[in-house]
Amino acid sequence: MLDHGHLTETAVTWLRSRGPEMESALASLVEENSFTINVNGGNRVGSLLRELFEGPDLTCESRKSTSFADHLVFRSEGEGKPIALVGHLDTVYPPGTFEGYRREGGLARGPGVLDMKGGLVVAGYALLALGHVDVLSELPVRFVIVSDEEVGSPEGRLVLRDAAGHATCGLVFEAGRAGDAIVTRRKGTGSMIAVARGRAAHAGNVHHEGVSAIWALARFIDRAQALTSYGRGRTVNVGTVEGGHARNTVPDLARAELDIRFTSIEDGEQLVTELEREAREAASSLPGSSLELSGGISRQPLERSRASESLCAEYAACAKASGLTAVEAPLVGGGSDASTLSAVGVPCIDALGPRGAGFHTHDEHIEIATLIPKAEAVVRFLMGRLDRRRAEGRAD
């Protein structure tokens, strides 16, 4: 019988000698711009990931995309329901806006270093460590890396459901938080577009004949923003507004984009219904105008469950054994693919990447010293799952 305690320590020892190598791998990924719609850059990052992690123990399948870089599914040969490791290779920075990798003392800076190329390195090196001790053939793993997460995973969600929708659990390697906080709850997200129509007229000669689409839209905006309830954890944000042609023309068209956030799928559906009602009432309050809403919920919330609570405790024990703090995070406002996978019944925890701050800003950075312990925690977790599988096999 294999001594998994010895194998775990052997894997951890191997990992602890890979610090410079992990940083070099991270630098190579960050140096390639992989803005979501930069298809060539994203595919170059995908090629680097395959060079880093593909091998006899971990094969890789590319899922072709119609609009983005190819999505990647790494898999081991272990039989049974897999464990899902989840990440994305795209970033929010268009070419030329924030480029390059640089080190400042103990910090690494650059686009995607935290969100989430650092997390890809953590997950990938944990799997390399398991390959080093030759146990991946016993453990079914799906390491799924999508290329469109920053725009809501319109294709990636299908890749995730196909490759990992039957997984026993999901570990998601988004940006690590202060205190190594583990995310178990995320708000759901949605986007909507409001289009108001009125009737054009000369603002001086026949103002009374016009119907202002901007005025109708303004009435709706006031009603929509009032649906925000911080106590309920839901928000409505009208982020862009445009309309009209000239100051002396009554505008016949206006448009606004809305962002919505909510804590439960029921509240999200109710919020969409309330916005539709407010649109109707805003238009009816200004005769001659109309207002149409499109869009809706784009990503369901990550809701805490007994299964995810147990998963959090299981991972936290491994993180603490690796020198991390591993507290549970409060509710997070932003969505991720933890929500995508959780929506099909897979218990998930998130924010398992290296500790850092400043994601989606030019101050994005990680604490380099956390790369190894974060990967070590994953090694301990996966080896624990392997022990469980072997115990269940003996029980059978």
Nearest Cα residue to 226 out of 277, 269, 265: 277
**What is the percentage of the chain residues whose pLDDT exceeds 70?**
98
For residue 302, which phi and psi values (nearest 5 degrees)? -90, 110
State the CATH architecture for 4-186+302-395: 3-Layer(aba) Sandwich (3.40)
2 falls in which pLDDT band (50, 70, 90)? very low
Whether 1 has a pLDDT exceeding 60, the answer reads: no
CA distances from 37 to 54, 113, 150, 151, 346 (A): 25, 18, 10, 10, 29
Which pTM value belongs to this model?
0.91
- The structural domains of the chain, with segments of one domain joined by +, span 4-186+302-395, 188-299
Residues 218, 201 contacting (CB under 8 angstroms): no
pLDDT on residue 391:
81
The alpha carbon dihedral of 225, 280, 218, 295 has a sign of: positive
List pLDDT tens digits, range 314-331.
999 999 999 999 999 999
Condensed to tens digits (0 to 9), the pLDDT of residues 294-319 reads 999 999 999 999 999 999 999 999 99
Q: Is 212 helix (H, G, I), strand (E, B) or coil?
A: coil
Contact present, 28 and 100 (Cβ < 8 Å): no
Express each pLDDT in 254-280 by its tens digit: 999 999 999 999 999 999 999 999 999
Distance CA 275, CA 293 (A): 8
The CA distance from 166 to 157, in Å, is 14
Is the pLDDT at 121 greater than 60? The verdict is yes
Tell me whether residue 276 is exposed, middle or buried, using C-beta atoms within 10 angstroms of its C-beta: 0 to 12, 13 to 18, 19 or more: middle
* Side chain identity, residue 154: P
Task: Decide if domain 188-299 falls under CATH 3.30.70.360.
Answer: yes
